[in-house]
Chains A and B, each alone.
Chain A
Amino acid sequence: MSSTPASSGLAATSKTKGAGLSDRWFSVLLITPAMLITLIFAILPLAQALDVSFRMGDLSRGKIGDYVGLENYRVVFADSTFWQAGWVTLKFTVVAVGLQMLLGVGIAFLLHGATFAKGLTRSLLILPLATSAAVTGLFWRYLYDTQFGVMNWILGSLGLPEPNWLGDYTIALWSVVLFDIWQWTPFVALIALAGLQALPKEPFEAAELDGASRWRILTTLTFPLLKPVLFLVLVLRTIDCVRLYDAVAVLTRGGPGTATETMTFYLYRTGLKLFRMDYASTMAVFFLYVMLVAAVFALTPLLKQFTDRAKEA
């Protein structure tokens, strides 16, 4: 590998900064704090969760017990509530993320073309993101209240049916979805807007000169160029939705019955209500495995695209 004079100079500088350390050891020194934090707060707990998933672990009995092989995995995989929670999580994620992407991108286009109050609208969009779901969830619980809530007051005033937003098991999950859409669509919109504003102008000017229709510009230029940004938002929102807990905890506590019980909420109930840390750890390990596999599949093309672009640049 050849080094340019500039890089040699940089290396020399870094050696000086590193007080006699080689580049390699200086790099190691720089990443050590981050690695230590990751090790203490992520790797070690994960290792312990993995360990507990193979042992008897009824915490209310005072200790983590003996190794039981794959018994916990057998119990968890045979647990219909676990799979039902998985199904609820999947439904929630697909619908919430889908709608958030559609609405968010739509809002981004509207804002991109707006000629006035753009800054104010952008600021207002940040508001739902600035507060925690635990706080806004309480606020929404009152909005949804069948007797005293604003939603039903408005619907009732218009002579429309007044649904039992959080009490009817057929719609409770969609009420949580609606809340999540309210909170997270602005995130998608803001990122998509930033992506739109960062697009190069030249290809669009050339397309206009060539007489390309708006639809053609949208499908052949805008979306392909925006794809990496949208894909990143899609991945981030999907990960966030899959581990949904706070909105469910505040709005429905998993109810009515188990209609809104997500994987994370069931994991919490198993671990911190029943104190079966063995089952909870098993679920967590399985959950992490699924997420890792999905993330690798999802992120590989994106990372490849970023790498290719960097090389081209």
Chain B
Amino acid sequence: MKKSLASASVLALLSSGGAFAQECTDPVQITWSTIAGFYTDAMAGFVKSFEDENCAKVTVVNIDNSQLYNKQVIEMVGQTGAYDVVTLETAEKAEFAENGFILPMTEFFKDQKAIIEDVSPTLRAMTVEYKGDVWGLPYYTYSSGMFVRQDLLDDSTEQAAFVAKYGYDLAAPTTWEQHRDIAEFFTRKQGDMLKGQPLDKDLFGVGLMAGPFPEIQDELSAPLWGMGSDWLNAEGQVPVDDVEKVLNGYLELMKFAPPAALTVTYDGVMNQMKDCQIAMTHGFFLDQWPNAVKTEENCPGAKMAAIEAPMKKAYVGGFLLAVSSSSANPDMAMKFVAHIGGPVIQQQFAEMGGASTLTSVLTNPMFATPEKRTTNGQYATLNQVFSSMAGFSSNLFKTPFGAKIYNTMQIPLQSAASGQITARQAAEQLAADVEKICGGPCPIAN
């Protein structure tokens, strides 16, 4: 600790020195555990600039997404100090904060409130704040909207056929009932006509992430939150009737999804989209826009659009960078969090096509140009999502059991999606699982 304090003092003295790199002989070591992929490679350059400016040496530990939570919890419980900066999924924040695994950064950001206030209030409430404290900065948002084949919605032949069948105009869905109708309408067999041309392969109305991964709950958050409910009610219990209702809606959609829906995650759905197999997604991670837009290259005449999910509610979240309470160099670790999540790096991150978390970046006109459409074309929709969901926060992110619940809930939900159990049984099982995890009703922080 003495060493870190000494280093911090040296840093304070020299922090404005342009020739710092030359004088750095004993860099402060910090380790960042993060997700393999997800632009982590792009972060290497940003890490270098931090090292040069701060006389630090940052070791980036890439961990497979499915193992990241386990690895981090084990190191936190053991107080090994193996990771100075950790990467948390939205549902994990409360658990890490409540159990003292991470340090509050309220004091650190006291004089840098502009950075915190630059994070969209909706995203801030979900990922940054807990019990009145600030716990880090998100560096990447996977908040959801929807991707649609706009060319299909705009086609006059399809529009006429749709009106004839459903009695209202074909357009981007604003309710989940419309979403279902559109999914049904565009589910066609090979040889059927689409936009006046015969299909050379089957087309499915919707791509779903019902595989054995924690994504089906992200999808279902959209209709559940859209109907004014939540995964946990104010009493900390699962609202069984509401979950059953949205699950039944989801089961209805399964009829219009490729069979692979039961095995894929988000990348599988993107592959289906790029392979011209699906007309739209369910609530879907908008950070995948650079991937989704490639459909236009692969499918003749395709035009992609990123839109808000029906009822203007969808899963909002981001990867939070937080400082481990067992870090030997917490000051440097906090500086690193502010560096990666701050406006300079976020701007550069956005230029590389990353899904930035800062309003100043998301609203920067330079990303609204036609040239930037393929890399940053979802930013306007992201801003709409944050705006529409202003003031909303899920109880799932306010309970210290959120991570465990989140890591368990896909099992009953997927069981229902696969037909193994009914929607009612799944909702009841989820309620029982959650009660078991929390040891009764889950505590919800105000």
Contact = CB atoms under 8 A, between A and B. Distances in A.
Interface of A: 59-63, 145-148, 164, 166-169, 252-259, 272-275
A61 B260 CA distance: 38
Contacts of A275: 73, 404
B298 to A, nearest CB: 14
Contacts, number: 91
Interface string B242-253: 000000000000
Contacts of A169: 415, 418-420
Given A254-B212, A257-B415, A273 B420 contact: no
Specify the main secondary structure of chain A where it touches its partner.
loop
Contacts of B211: 167, 255
B172 interface: no
29 contacts: A59-B73, A60-B95, A61-B99, A62-B100, A145-B260, A147-B275, A148-B271, A167-B211, A167-B263, A167-B418, A168-B262, A169-B419, A169-B420, A253-B213, A255-B262, A255-B414, A256-B417, A256-B420, A257-B411, A257-B420, A258-B411, A258-B415, A259-B418, A259-B420, A273-B70, A273-B404, A273-B407, A273-B408, A274-B437
- Give 7 nearest A-B pairs by CB, closest first: A257-B415, A167-B262, A255-B212, A256-B418, A253-B212, A257-B420, A167-B263
Interface residues of B, number: 36
A257 B412 contact: yes
Contacts of B261: 167
Contact of A147 (B260, B404, B412): B260
Given A60-B77, A60-B404, A62-B99, A257 B277 contact: no
Contacts of B136: none
A146 B213 contact: no
Contacts of B198: none
A148 B258 CA distance: 12
Contacts of A167: 211, 259-263, 418
Contacts of B414: 255-257
Contact of A256 (B73, B258, B262, B407): B262
B154 to A, nearest CB: 27
B249 to A, nearest CB: 19
Given A60-B99, A258-B420, A259-B418, 10 more contacts: A60-B95, A62-B100, A145-B263, A147-B277, A148-B271, A164-B262, A169-B420, A256-B420, A257-B420, A273-B69
